[in-house]
Structure 1
Amino acid sequence: MKDDKDIKAQIHEYQTLLEDLKGVQIELPEPFVAGILIEKLPESWKDYKRDLKHKFGPMSLNEVITHIIIEDTNRREGSKAQIMQYTSNANLVETQNKRRYNNNNEDNNKPNYNKPKSNTSFKKEKHCYVCGKPGHFAAQCRKRATMRNNKPPRPSANLVQDDDVIAAVVSQTCLVSDVNEWVVDSGATKHICKNKSAFSSYTPIGDGEEQVYLGDSHTTKVHGKGKVVLKLTSGKTLSLNDVLHVPEIRTNLVSVSLLGKAGVKVSFESDKIVMTKIMSLWEKAIVIRDCLFSVFLK
């Protein structure tokens, strides 16, 4: 694995390789494939690799993937916090320099009666680089505040919790509420559906028996599980088994890893996703945000 490449994408490539091996009747032991994934982590993960080997004991491949994605998410959030701290320090230094500069200007602007008077005068015109209009600077521009408020929210990273959590879902601020839309998520470990009416077969689950971890740091219970058959815009159908019924989630999720286990190959390209099975094209969908692809149904 490489540091400059998305961890989840590299894990997906590894899972695809394992599925290809199963397709030719080569199935490796679970502890072996889990250990190989740990060994393939980048050099910057050296200390974490040691912790995975000695602190947690034997783990399944899904458990290893869960721990890796949690660590990757924490590292990304830590990097963002450092960048914000550096930016804050830079702004503080810039503000202090401006104050010194203004104080020096005040001293320089005091009248010096010892200097000979000049008949010419010069006044620098203010110019705003935000709106392009003269008469004020960028810090005083009203349009600047409007531009800040109109910035779209940044998507949050997919989260996978530890052993007590059975599914990974995206932050709810990034989700849409279209009941006919399913998001194909490379970080999800389970298929999830919010609408009970979408199930062709359904088995209720007792209160508190299973939970999923949401991106806003709380868990919600699973009401049931069953089978969902999706009718794609291409005319094909996609059958999903063991789909979790979670009414609280805002959109429906399709797990890439479970598709791979079912024999469906998922290829992520620059602006679309392609699902194939036995060399038969199933469906294409447009990308809607980082790591998330949407499949629109009929």
Structure 2
Amino acid sequence: MAADEGKMKIEKFDGADFGFWKMQIEDYLYQKKLYQPLSENKPEGMNDEDWTLLDRQALGVIRLTLSRNVAFNIAKEKTTAGLMAALSSMYEKPSASNKVHLMRRLFNLRMTEGASVAQHLNELNTVTTQLSSVGIEFDEEVRALILLSSLPESWNATVTAVSSSSGSNKLTFDDVRDLVLSEEIRRRESGESSTSSVLHTESRGRNSTRGNGRGRSNYRGRSKDRRSKSRNPNNSHSSKTVECWNCGKIGHYKNQCKSASKDHEAKAEANVTSTSGGDDALICSLESNEESWVLDSGASFHATSQKQFFERYVPGNLGKVYLGNDQPCAIIGKGVVKIKLNGSVWELKDVRHIPDLRKNLISVGQLASEGYTTIFHGDDWKISKGAMMVARGKKNGTLFMTAGGAVQLQLQQK
């Protein structure tokens, strides 16, 4: 409940967040020219009667912003200065228990997946401000690190990129805050388009055993046992609720389908791929020039489907990925790819070869682990290593893409 004071609303103080309430009430008293009674010193030239009236007016305003349980504790106070001193003694004193309580709040503070960054920043700033009021201060770098540490798992690649970008310089809270807010905007924009969404990493838990059938069940159980049952083509419940990934009809799996096979990859919708050996999944869209490379802070690794791009290519069985229709696609090799960009050649290492992938991916997280710094600013991006700028480019729709293609090598026959 809020106390209405003209056009302003001051939340009633109920014993929590005294520092914020104190700031609000002092600002209001100054706006209404009732601030003088906050000190016990009567202004020169003011008679006792006027001073008593002014003090009583300020006292009444403060009382109206207190909840019932707080107001009873200070009912005996008859002056504004005495009332504020009593409240400070009860709620602002830097006791050890109060410090422990605030530190626990700070350590347990973590942004939930999909939550607003602005709201999370507000909660973080509230706790650090309260700690400051009891004598615990954090410098800029510590505040920046606290913010990065409080981000959820889906932000891991961003955290790695930001942490690596500082080099020997200290992080500042304002810079990290601005980067996180910009990343949220980029993610929101990319999520609005199903055909040009930027790559990102998500966690998808998979059972160790997979059913032989291929279909999407309309039944969504939470437990792994339920999910396992919904994948079993012999299960009577699942056979009635699954959707065939070949013909799209309900009631059977793909391996039971009698319709002709269709090329689902031609659909203009995002493909989802996940490594069979882990929980990472790469989400990519289908519309882009095959010579261009998409830059994203959530991609797990560099990847391309074009074998002719590779130099020092090493073939091998490096696992599988699964597309959105659960079709397995093999990672059949890796190597070095050289990209011609901005008049120079940039070398990407450990690029995976996935023939069925529809985009060329540059992983910001992998770049960070190799010592590169990636900066997104508005519609521009740039990558540097030390003092040398390696690459730069502009935003294309909702994708951060390179403007150049890979150097295609002419292999000599021995």
TM-score under structure 2 normalisation? 0.35
TM-score under structure 1 normalisation? 0.47
Higher RCO (Cα < 8 Å, 6 or more apart): 1
